[in-house]
Copies of this chain bind each other. A is one copy, B any other.
Amino acid sequence: MAIRVPGVRLGVAQAGIKKSAKDDLILIELAPGSVVAGVFTQNAFCAAPVQLARAHQAKTQGKICYWLINTGNANAGTGEAGMLAAQRSCTELAALTETDETGVMPFSTGVIGEPLPIERLCDALPVAIEDLCEDGWERAAAAILTTDTRAKLASREIKVFGKTVTLAGMAKGAGMICPNMATMLAYVTTDAHVDVLLLQTLTQRAIDASFNRITVDGDTSTNDAAVVAATGVAAVEITANNADVLADFETALTDLCLELAQGIVRDGEGATKFVEVAIDGGKTAEECDRVAYTIAHSPLVKTALFASDPNWGRLLAAIGRAGLSELDVEKVTIRINDVLIAEGGARAASYTEEAGVAAMAPTDLRVQIDLGRGAASSVVWTTDFSYDYVKINAEYRT
């Protein structure tokens, strides 16, 4: 069944920003009364559209009418001209739709450092406006892709006092925390009515548990953004006053973000494995994260995963250099897909190479480390490092 969120319409156009004749302009219209929350890249070289999107969101206190997205050009590293181009896209769209330019949040993804062809973008705006419709999700989700190989779309429904609330979203990204050509963008909407401050809190928590827990290569894009809109069209209110409803909504939102985030990892550049790195038994969640990311970013661990090699020595070495003070290596255990591989600072007595090879064979792997020094835990999702990762990133601009 086609995805629809009451109060949300989507349109696409070919602006000629991408070299090939593909949709490269996406417009998402949010019904009057919608509010938007968002999380943006921490990179100091934050792209012009991200700066402007954040400013407009702040200025309107989240009362946003349009998300305007172009692919094929990141409009990052483009100096003052880049900011003028981003502003121009907002004023043109506002004029065409008789709205205020501060109601437009612009987003760009593509090559860094090339001037955005703003005339072509503006010329295509009427086409995108004309194309707006409630069932435009599939085409929009296809149009925002760059090095991605497949669209990431997800939806959820919850019942609140007999009424249906819908959540739906799409994402793009094939390297997360990620490359100049594979910026992570996520657009999530709901027809529930949510106060903008509560929505920002729920959004931050959902993203912390999903998009902020995936990594392909440890690189943070200049253009990353994840935004959530609540149109209120369903006439169902989500408030802190009704804890059960709030919990249902938050679960659906987090779950949807997690599906999109894991979709990005599964579509990671050159990925042949989907890897969950789960750390238990830490003193704090922070130290569990440190171990998880050290493993998830280790090129040696990632190449071993590509080779389906149960090379626990590399896992052990990664744990050992994560910088945990007074780590008792004797208490650390390593499991892969539930096979105990190492304990007591050495290979487990019960371990056999056959069992290890069998554990590494599936596409989906769970690397589970118990640090044996506390009750905290954390989990991140990542991929392996393959020949194709090198190929995709070495050949991208050629």
Contacts and interface: CB of A to CB of B under 8 A. Distances in A.
A121 interface: no
A389 B391 CA distance: 12
Contacts of A397: 307, 309, 311
24 contacts: A45-B319, A45-B345, A76-B313, A77-B312, A77-B342, A79-B345, A112-B312, A113-B342, A113-B347, A217-B299, A219-B298, A219-B300, A219-B314, A221-B317, A222-B313, A222-B320, A299-B299, A299-B385, A303-B394, A306-B390, A309-B394, A309-B396, A311-B397, A385-B390
Interface of A: 42-46, 74, 76-79, 81-82, 111-113, 175, 179-180, 217-222, 297-300, 303-304, 306-307, 309, 311-314, 316-321, 324, 327, 329, 342, 344-347, 385-387, 389-391, 393-398
A314 B45 contact: no
Given A77-B312, A317-B112, A299 B389 contact: yes
A385 B219 CA distance: 15
Contacts of A321: 42-44, 219-220
Contacts of A313: 74, 76-77, 111-113, 180, 222
Contact of A299 (B218, B222, B342): B218
Contacts of A347: 77, 113
Interface centre among A113, A306, A319 (most CB of B within 10 A): A113
A394 B320 contact: no
A317 to B, nearest CB: 5
Contact of A78 (B74, B113, B346): B346
A176 to B, nearest CB: 12
Contacts of A112: 312-314, 316-317
A165 B303 CA distance: 45
A237 B377 CA distance: 56
B317 A220 contact: yes
Given A44-B319, A78-B346, A179-B314, A390 B393 contact: no
Nearest to A175: B300
Contact of A398 (B44, B307, B327): B307
Per CB-CB distance, the 5 closest pairs between chain A and chain B, nearest first, are A112-B313, A79-B346, A45-B320, A303-B393, A307-B394
